[in-house]
């Protein structure tokens, strides 16, 4: 990684980048609701992270810097790209996926439970709940997890 990129990341409060299958993932240590998080990642020419295999699960679970995430009890929550519009990924362009990967799910037992709101988005808790997912109302402000890939048809 070059120095300029590291400087930009330091200045904007981003974490170190981790990669899997040629994609780069990073936590943004600045809380945003789901819509804002999605917009933020897309403005960086990426999208909210798609978690489509165990390698990515482990990377996200293990690379989050919890010291940067604390603000109250239950702080350690991060938005990934899955949302309850038929439970699909923010990165919906299927050319990015291998067979079966769009269906990869790692819910915490009992989840998704459709939260307590009509709009439900997916958060992971790095280091907690084994990194497994919970559906929550999209208006909560959590830390976005972005990836550096972006599809053609954004909606
Ligand atoms: C997630 O992190 C926790 C705590 O660091 C660890 O116990 C657990 O095995 C990890 N899970 C995965 C899937 O990497
Ligand atoms: C996210 O926050 C913006 C204002 O910053 C608001 O307009 C929007 O309705 C919020 N979205 C959700 C899903 O809560």
CATH of the domain at 122: 3.10.100.10
From the CB of 79, is ligand 2 less than 6 Å away? no
From the CB of 33, is ligand 2 less than 6 Å away? yes
Average pLDDT over residues 137-147: 95
Ligand nearest to the CA of residue 36, numbered in listed order: 2
Under 8 Å between Cβ of 45 and 150: yes
Say if 155 falls within a structural domain: no
Q: Which residues contact 13 (CB under 8 A, 6 or more apart)?
A: 28, 29, 30, 68
How far, in Å, is the centroid of ligand 1 from the Cα of 81?
A: 20
Say if 62 falls within a structural domain: yes
Strand locations in the chain (E)? 18-20, 23-27, 47-48, 78-83, 88-89, 120-124, 133-137, 143-147
Say if 79 falls within a structural domain: yes
- Residue 32 DSSP one-character state: B
> What is the pTM (predicted TM-score) of this model?
0.85
What's the pLDDT score for residue 6?
46
């Amino acid at each position: 990684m070059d120095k300029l990129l590291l400087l930009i990341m330091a200045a904007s409060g981003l974490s170190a980048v981790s990669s899997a299958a040629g994609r780069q993932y990073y936590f943004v240590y600045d809380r945003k609701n789901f819509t804002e998080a999605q917009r933020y990642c897309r403005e960086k020419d990426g999208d909210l992270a798609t978690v489509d295999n165990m390698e990515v699960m482990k990377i996200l679970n293990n690379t989050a810097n919890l010291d940067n995430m604390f603000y109250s009890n239950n702080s350690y929550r991060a938005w990934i790209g899955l949302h309850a519009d038929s439970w699909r990924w923010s990165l919906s362009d299927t050319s990015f996926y291998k067979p079966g990967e769009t269906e990869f799910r790692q819910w915490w037992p009992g989840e998704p439970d459709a939260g307590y709101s009509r709009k439900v988005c997916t958060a992971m808790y790095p280091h907690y709940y084994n990194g497994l997912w919970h559906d929550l109302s999209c208006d909560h402000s959590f830390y976005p997890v972005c990836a550096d890939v972006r599809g053609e048809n954004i909606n």
